[in-house]
Structure 1
Amino acid sequence: MKFVLGRDDLAAATESAIRGIGTESERIDVRPVNKASRGMVGEGALDICELPVVTLLQAVAHERPVLLLPVTTLGRFQHQTLVTLGERTVADVAGATVGIRSWSQTTGVWVRGFLTEQYGVDLRAVDWVVYEDGHVDGHSDPSWVRRAPAGARVPADFLDGRLDFAVLGNELPADDRIRTAIPDAAQVAAAWSKDKGFAPVNHVVGVTEKAARTHSAAVCAAYDAMREVLAAEPQDGPVDLHPVGFEALRGPVSQAAAYALEQDVLPRPVDFDELVARSCEALGVPASRLGG
C-alpha cells in the first residue's frame, strides 16, 4: 500500500500498523502534502492520502472512488488567514479585491463561510481573484470569480498592492505591514469554535475504494494507529483541533460541506451520512468501528 501523510509521527505509526497486519507499505514523501491530492483523486495513485477536506468532498460529489477515513491530520483556526495591508478591516471587504490561491482551497471555503455567516458579506459583491485550479477535475469556478494572469502569485500581488485582501495560510509572507482583517481574530476564532462545538478541519485522510475493499484490516489498523498518536496530544483551547472518528468529524465536515455548496464549490450536496455509508460498506465494518 502506498500512502502520503504530512506528519512524520502519523506516517511512522501508519507504516508500522500496516506492516503489522502483514501488508507491505510504502510512504511517498510529498511536500507540501496537498500536492499529492490530484494524483490520489484523479489517478488512484495512492491508497491512503492526506487530503484537504474540501478536496475529499469534491471527489465524492464528482463520483470519484475516494472514501473518508475519519482522522483529522490538520485542524486550525482560520479567521486570521484573511489579511490586508494598512488600516482596512473585514468591514471593507464588500467591493474590494480579494486574492485566493484556488476557489476550492479549504481555507478559502472556511473564510468565505465566516464572511457570510458572521459579517453579512454578499460574496458576489467581492472582486475575487483566483490563481490556480483545484485538485479535482470537473470543477469549474463560478462565473463571478476571475482568474489572475498566468504566472501571477497571490503573495506577490498582495504585497505589491494589486489586491486589497488575500487569504493566506501557509503562504503568508513575513512582512510587518500585514494585518489580520478580522480584529481580534484569535479571540473571534476561539469564540466561533466554542459556539459551534468544533474547530475548522483542514486536512483529513482519504482512502481509495479499491484499497478499502482489498486491505480493510490494514486500513482499519492505520486508523487505530493515527487515533492513538493524536489522542496523546495535549488539548489547548475550547475544542479538539484533531478530532478522530465519524461522530467527532460530523460537525466540522458537515459545516464545510454546507459552506462549499453555498459557494458553488460542490455540484451537489454531500451529506455526512453518505460519507459514513460509503466508507463502512467498502471496508465491511460498522460505523462504530470508526468512531460512529
Structure 2
Amino acid sequence: MLGRHGQVADLRNGAVKVEGYALDFIDIKRMPDAYRAMARSQPYDICEMAPTSYLMAVADGAPITALPLPMTRRFRHAGLQRPLSSDLNEPKDLEGKRVGVRAYSVTAAVWTRGILADEYGLDPDSITWFTEEDENVESFVPPSNVQRVPSGKTLAGMLRDGELDAAFAGLAGAGDDAGELVEVVADAKARERDWYRRTAIYPLHGVIVVRNDVLEKHPTLALALFNAFTNAKENYLERVRTGSAAEAEDKRYLALAELVGDPLPYGLEENAQSFAALARYAYRQKLIPVLPSLETVVYDPRTDAIAQRRRA
C-alpha cells in the first residue's frame, strides 16, 4: 500500500525493480484508511504509514518495523488556520480556545503542536481539541482535553458558526464553507526557514513499514526496498531538476531543495533529527507512554541495527 507520490512513480510503473522481489500494489481511496488498518490488523506486507500512528502502534505491540524512507516532507508552522475576523494575534492566544483537527494523533497536528510549544511557548494541554474521526490505534484514549464533535456537527460547520477558534486546513475540511481563513502563524514561511537553519529538523510524513514476519522470512527484503526506493527517488529528483516533472508538488520540492539540499532524504542518520523530534513531540503529547530510542523503532538496513529491533 503506497501513495501516488512522484518519488515512487518508477516503482509503480516498473521502471525500477526491487531486486529479488515483485511488488503487488493495492490502491485505496484514502491513505489514512490504510494507516488505520496497518495500525490495527496489519493486512499488508508493506505499507506507507503516518509516522505518529506507527510510533503509537509499535508502543501498543503491533509487529511492524519502519524503514527510514519518509514519503513526504512539509514544514508545519503553516496549516493551522483561524477566521480572518478573529482576535487571535499569535499562537499563544490559542490557550483556552477550541481547535479542530481530524484526529488528535494526526501527524501534521503533532508536528504543529510541538513546534508551537517550542517556538511560541504555547501549552497545547490548555486547548480543547475537537475531533471528528477515530484514532488509528484503537486502544488509544485521548487526553481529557480532547472532545469528539457533537452528533450532527462537523469541524467546518463549527468553525463557520464560531464554535471553534481555529482548525487545521484540509484536515478539518474547512475550506470555503468556513469563510475566509488565515494562518495562525502569519509569517510561517520565514519562520520555517529560520527554524530549519537553527534546528536541522525537517518534518517528515509517511514512512514505509514492513510486517516483522515478512522481514524474518525475507532477510534481504529491507535492503532491496531501500535501494529501490532510493533509485526511484533519484530518478524523480532528476526529472524535477530538469523540469520534466512540473506538478505543484514537484515545484514545491524544487524550492525546498534550495533550503535543505536533498528534499527527500532517506536513511536513519539522514533523518535522525526529524525522527527524534517527532518521537519527542508524541511523547510530550501523551500519544506514547515511553520515549523510544530511534534504533528500536526505525531500521536502517544499511547497518546491523536490526539486531536491536528484534522482539522476543
How far has the Cα of 1:204 moved from its partner?
1.2
Q: Is 1:243 the equivalent of 2:254? A: no
Question: What is residue 282 of structure 2 aligned with on the other side?
Answer: 260
* Native 8 Å contact 2:125 2:145 kept in 1: yes
Question: What is residue 155 of structure 2 aligned with on the other side?
Answer: 154
Distance in 2 separating the partners of 1:100 and 1:228: 36
Question: Any idea what SS the aligned residue of 1:238 has?
Answer: helix
* Native 8 Å contact 1:17 1:225 kept in 2: no
Q: Which moved more, 1:59-68 or 1:240-249?
A: 240-249
Q: Which moved more, 1:235-244 or 1:98-107?
A: 235-244
Q: Which moved more, 1:159-168 or 1:178-187?
A: 159-168
Cα displacement string for residues 165-191 of structure 1 (whole angstroms, at most 9, x for unaligned residues): 112246452476110011211111121
TM-score, normalisation: structure 2: 0.81
Q: Which moved more, 1:207-216 or 1:259-268?
A: 207-216
Q: Is 1:187 the equivalent of 2:205? A: no
Question: What is residue 223 of structure 2 aligned with on the other side?
Answer: 220
* Native 8 Å contact 1:199 1:241 kept in 2: no
* Native 8 Å contact 1:76 1:241 kept in 2: no
How far has the Cα of 1:94 moved from its partner?
1.1
Question: What is residue 273 of structure 1 aligned with on the other side?
Answer: 295
Q: Which amino acid aligns with 1:193?
A: Y
Question: What is residue 65 of structure 2 aligned with on the other side?
Answer: 67
How far has the Cα of 1:261 moved from its partner?
0.6
Distance in 2 separating the partners of 1:275 and 1:15: 30
Distance in 2 separating the partners of 1:17 and 1:246: 26
Q: Which moved more, 1:244-253 or 1:21-30?
A: 21-30
Question: What is residue 127 of structure 1 aligned with on the other side?
Answer: 128
Distance in 2 separating the partners of 1:128 and 1:190: 28
* Native 8 Å contact 2:16 2:228 kept in 1: no
Question: Any idea what SS the aligned residue of 1:206 has?
Answer: strand
Distance in 2 separating the partners of 1:54 and 1:166: 19
Question: Any idea what SS the aligned residue of 2:193 has?
Answer: helix
* Native 8 Å contact 2:10 2:232 kept in 1: no
Decide whether aligned partners of structure 1 residues 153 and 210 sit closer, same or farther in structure 2, where only a CA change above 3 A counts.
farther
Q: Is 1:229 the equivalent of 2:207? A: no
Distance in 2 separating the partners of 1:275 and 1:119: 29
- Structure 1 vs Structure 2 CA RMSD: 2.5
* Native 8 Å contact 2:46 2:209 kept in 1: yes
Distance in 2 separating the partners of 1:190 and 1:275: 28
Q: Which amino acid aligns with 1:145?
A: V
- Which structure is higher in strand share? 1
Decide whether aligned partners of structure 1 residues 9 and 128 sit closer, same or farther in structure 2, where only a CA change above 3 A counts.
closer
- Of all paired residues, the percent bearing the same amino acid is 27
Alignment of 1:87-98 (within 5 A): 87=86, 88-89=88-89, 90-98=91-99
Q: Which moved more, 1:79-88 or 1:145-154?
A: 145-154
* Native 8 Å contact 2:18 2:225 kept in 1: no
Q: Which amino acid aligns with 2:186?
A: P
Question: What is residue 139 of structure 1 aligned with on the other side?
Answer: 140
How many residues are treated as equivalent by the alignment? 282
Question: Any idea what SS the aligned residue of 2:68 has?
Answer: strand
* Native 8 Å contact 2:101 2:130 kept in 1: yes
Question: What is residue 173 of structure 1 aligned with on the other side?
Answer: 175
TM-score, normalisation: structure 1: 0.87
How far has the Cα of 1:224 moved from its partner?
1.1
Query: Which one of 184, 193, 197 corresponds to residue 200 of structure 2?
Result: 197
